[in-house]
Amino acid sequence: MLLGTPCLLIKRVIQQQTEFSMQKTKPTLILSQAAFARAQQLMPGGVNSPARAFGAVGGTPIFVDRAEGAYLFDIDGNRYLDYIGSWGPMILGHRHPAVLAALKHALEHGTSYGAPTEAESELAERIIDAVASVEKVRLVNSGTEATMSAIRLARGYTGRDVLIKFAGNYHGHVDSLLVSAGSAAATLGVPSSPGVTQGTTQDTIVLEYNDVAALEKTFAARGAEIAGVIFEPVVGNMGVVRPSEAFCETLQRLTRKHGALLICDEVMTGFRVAFAGAQSLLGLEPDITTLGKIVGGGLPVGAYGGRADVMDHILPAGEVFQAGTLSGNPLATAAGCATLKLLKDDPPYGKLETLSAQLEDGLREAAESAEISHSLARVGSMITLFFHDTAVDNWSAASQCNTDLYARYFWGMMDRGIYLPCSQYEALFVSAAHTAEDIEQTVAAAQETLNDIAPGSAGG
Ligand code: KE4
């Protein structure tokens, strides 16, 4: 303890000195660098999820001390406008009073029981009421658990083995789906991970997103073998990519025609792009929907739900096995219920649309003014500025982005107090805690940064 004291004193002095810098100068990352060095001795890559290690942009990840509203504060006392929001969950902003109050109330009763609670029924009911295609739902602890269980259910329900997924779509670290995945896997150039056996991927067909002809051809050849198709209804994991109308229509039609299940992975888009999810914007009726992130309000919750006749194949109602010690945890369900209640009672989607459109326009003008090849994609409060000269509608296009330039953009924005996703292959998220002034500050920082990094500029 004594040994620790000087470090703590130094840490506090640095924090007090830099807290008031309020980001007028390039942030100092002294304590984050020390913390990262320590973490790398203890955990693989010093992180508990690869996307956080800044592998795609280089440098030292900031270690967060606390968060409030639209802001993150690192352990060196620097303040950042947060456009990651924990990779999506914090749609209301950090430490929303109603979510904190719900958590404090739950804490008065306990933290985990391994027994049913009414809070689980409330969260299930809120999801069912919000998402038309969901008649029954099972709560789990992460998006990965949700998608892993959904594909097991599709195979158990149909008695078939083959799955279709799409390049650049990421559905969590499920063995059979870690093939040409997006997000961290794509970012780190490791589309199919070591340790994933041929046996687990031999039944996974990977197609190009938005490729209608490939879908038609695959179903024509193997329709009777296909258990399910899993896809991101609006992709976030190769940057934001919209589905074409024809792609959505073909997905719905062919899965119905051949008796395969349509699995809409709304872990990122659920309650994000609309209260009823991306499927409500696209007119889709999936057989199974997977959820995560926002439904936990920042605590670990995943969920999969859909047609009652399908969901009733899950143990103990049916025979498809799935279980979890902490599934439906009372703290997590409290945060999830409070979040979904706020999203229903006081929907922020109009404000998010206004702020996100303002940010999209500002980024577009800044990139055009800096004469940088780019394209921009936005769905609701999910936005990606691609360093690519044409619109990105699949992984083949996304994989040609100038990721080196993105890394320089990322750090230029960090130096100006704006915390963006640390990869070209992610979406940024605007929260209900952001303000018009925050957006103006972000656009101004983007203009300076893009001017600095533009080819032919002094810093280019
Ligand atoms: P989790 O297991 O990370 O809760 O969810 C996996 C998942 C499933 N489906 C979609 C569409 C997802 O976006 C995700 C996870 N998203 C990434 C960010 N792109 C999580 C960040 C991380 O891996 O640290």
On average, the pLDDT of the chain sits at 93
Mean pLDDT computed over 393-412: 97
User: For residue 8, how far is its CA from the centre of ligand 1 (angstroms)?
Assistant: 34
Dist CA 93 CA 431 (whole Å): 6
Q: How far is the CA of 333 from the centre of ligand 1 (A)?
A: 19
% residues pLDDT > 90 (the chain):
87
Mean pLDDT for 50-74 is 97
Query: The dihedral of CA 144, 147, 151, 153: what is its sign?
Result: positive
Q: Tens digit of pLDDT for each residue in 337-353?
A: 999 999 999 999 999 99
Please report which confidence band the pLDDT of residue 8 belongs to, taking 50, 70 and 90 as the band edges: low
Q: In the chain, where are the structural domains located?
A: 5-94+348-372+387-403+418-453, 113-340
In the chain, the amino acid numbered 451 is N
* Positions marked catalytic: 170, 265, 293
What does the block give as tokens for 58?
């280089």
- Top-level CATH class of 113-340? alpha beta
User: How long is the chain?
Assistant: 460
Give the model's pLDDT for residue 7.
56
**Average pLDDT for 253-272:** 98
Q: Ligand 1 — pocket residues by CB below 6 A?
A: 49, 51, 87, 142-144, 147, 170-172, 183-184, 232, 236-237, 265, 267-268, 292, 302, 426
First to last CA, the chain: 48
What's the pTM? 0.93
pLDDT digits over 316-333, tens only?
999 999 999 999 999 999
CA distance 375 to 368: 10
Give pLDDT, residue 14: 57
Q: Which of 382, 332, 340 is nearest to 84 (CA)?
A: 382
Query: Strand 382-386 relative to strand 418-419: parallel, antiparallel, unpaired?
Result: unpaired
pLDDT given at position 20: 42
The token pair that represents 387 in the structure block: 């360093």
Domain at 5-94+348-372+387-403+418-453: CATH code: 3.90.1150.10
Ligand 1 centroid to Cα of residue 257, in Å, is: 30
d(CA 309, CA 318): 10
